Amino acid sequence: MTGRIRQEDRECPLSTAIEYVGDWWTLLLLHDAFDGYTRFDEFQRNLGISSSMLTGRLRRLVADGFLERRPYQNRPVRHEYVLTELGRSLRPVVVTLAAWGNSRLPPEERRMILVDAESREEVEPIVVDAATGRRLDDADAYVFTAGPAAGPEMRERYTSDA
């Protein structure tokens, strides 16, 4: 399959992100970690995932730096999985993805909603430019361009006559 991937796709930051978190179980594990789950049995019980699948996903999240494995018991040795700063930085992405999923459902079919912790009012996350506060969902106002490390294929893709 790797032979079929274009060079520009290998350079794309979206491809990199998907490589790390594009797996169904990875996103669900991160979501559970954001909700405070830290222990193997908690993840397994909540997600209904097999032990071998969970072991592999947790191992990868630790290796990739999203979770840290910490002992919480000595006899027998047991570990918990705690979000790192890198892992916590994905929360806005997961929150926005969940909100997007909810936006495709009628309100009465939504099983989980995002609310303000204090007021308990439902909130709608949006993605904005940090400098201007403008929404990024306008494809005419915000476009991709080749970055400083872009190779020839990426530069060709984003060369414009404008």
For the segment 40-63, what is each residue's pLDDT rounded down to a tens digit? Answer: 999 999 999 999 999 999 999 999
pLDDT at 135 over 90: yes
Q: What's the average model confidence in pLDDT over 77-93?
A: 96
Structural contact between residues 110 and 118, judged by C-beta atoms closer than 8 angstroms: no
Q: How many residues does the chain have?
A: 162
Res 162 pLDDT > 80: no
Which tens digits make up the pLDDT trace of 98-128?
999 999 999 999 999 999 999 999 999 999 9
- Work out the angle between the directed axes of helices 40-47 and 51-63 (0-180°, nearest 10): 120
pTM (2 d.p.) = 0.82
- Is residue 140 classed as helix, strand or coil in its secondary structure? coil
